[in-house]
Amino acid sequence: MIIRPKLHWFRLLFVWRGSVLPQLVPRLLLILALSIVAIFMHDHMRSYPAGLGTPPFALIGIALAVFLGFRNRASYDRWWEGRKLWGELAICARSLARQALSLPGERDPADTRRFIAALGGFAHALRHQLRGTDAREDLAPRLPPELYARVIDAQCRPATIALWLGEWVAARVREGSIDGFGMLAIDRNLDALSEVIGGCERLSTTPLPFSYSVMIHRTVYLFCALLPFGLVDGAGLLTPLFALLLAYAFMALEAIAAQIEDPFGTEENDLALNTMCAALENALHDMAADPDFRRVPAPVSQTPPHILD
């Protein structure tokens, strides 16, 4: 994810990194070539279909803009829901850490720190599961050896860590550190962690209907490919300019929607899950005042733009 300071309106016109323009350049060059072909045919072919004109494109463009608006809204809703789920994860993890640290009676600080470190491991395990990457390097220093062995052999690693957190709470209940009401309060936060897993899995494994995405994609590119032949009568030599502007608008909207549809990926506009995990761990270990914890520096917005992933 790209994090930038607020740019001046003029500098914003020339932003390259973080926009979808780099992936659109080859497609826009194709539209430029078609525009040149349209001008040549208009000027040198007697049989050029002069009656094509702009009215059909105006009507189709309005309908296409409505469809693209709906497509972008659906994709953005998925992106925002993913952000809310990770916000809920941070809230629940901090609440669980506070509850563990405020247990009555004499407690082994190392035992409580293992619980808090496992909360950080939960976030990393979920991040890797959503991205389909290997979690071993991140989980090994954060989980107790016996838990690490269980988690590596599990298919749903975040759920296994959540189970261990519940077992830790049950052990504190048996020794009398937590009463029934306290266990209910902690269990609500553990249930919320399970809901976060389910919500993220739903977004990750259920994309927008493929046929709908294909229909929008085909219509956008067919419209943009025919556009120069409709504009050439009225725009003349300026056909490439207007065709590129309209094609960029429609293609960029379609590309942005496709990019943010899966909010947990590693593209520049996806959620900054690495940074969220680092920020959560810093907060947890601040609460625990852990002297052995090495703080993870969280990237900040600066110039040049900083990539958070």
Question: What confidence category does residue 264 fall into, taking pLDDT thresholds of 50, 70 and 90?
Answer: very high
Q: Are 186 and 162 in contact (CB under 8 A)?
A: no
CA distance 70 to 79: 14
**Angle CA 211–217–220, to nearest 5:** 140
Which of 49-53, 119-123, 135-139, 231-235 comes out lowest in average pLDDT?
49-53
What percent of the chain clears pLDDT 90, i.e. is strictly above it? 51
DSSP state of 297: P
Q: Write out the two tokens for 97.
A: 């850490």
Domain boundaries, the chain: 25-43+52-297
Q: Which residue has the tokens 């943010």?
A: 260
If one compares 124 and 44, the residue with the highest pLDDT of the two is 124
pLDDT tens digits for 146-192?
999 999 999 999 999 999 999 999 998 988 888 888 889 999 999 99
Q: Write out the two tokens for 254.
A: 């379609």
Q: Is 113 helix (H, G, I), strand (E, B) or coil?
A: helix
Of 29, 28, 2, which Cα lies nearest the Cα of 16?
A: 2
Q: Are 161 and 117 in contact (CB under 8 A)?
A: no
**Residue 199 pLDDT > 90, yes or no?**
yes
DSSP state of 17: T
**Residue 32 pLDDT > 60, yes or no?**
yes
Q: Determine the pLDDT at residue 303.
A: 37
Residue 166 is which amino acid?
G
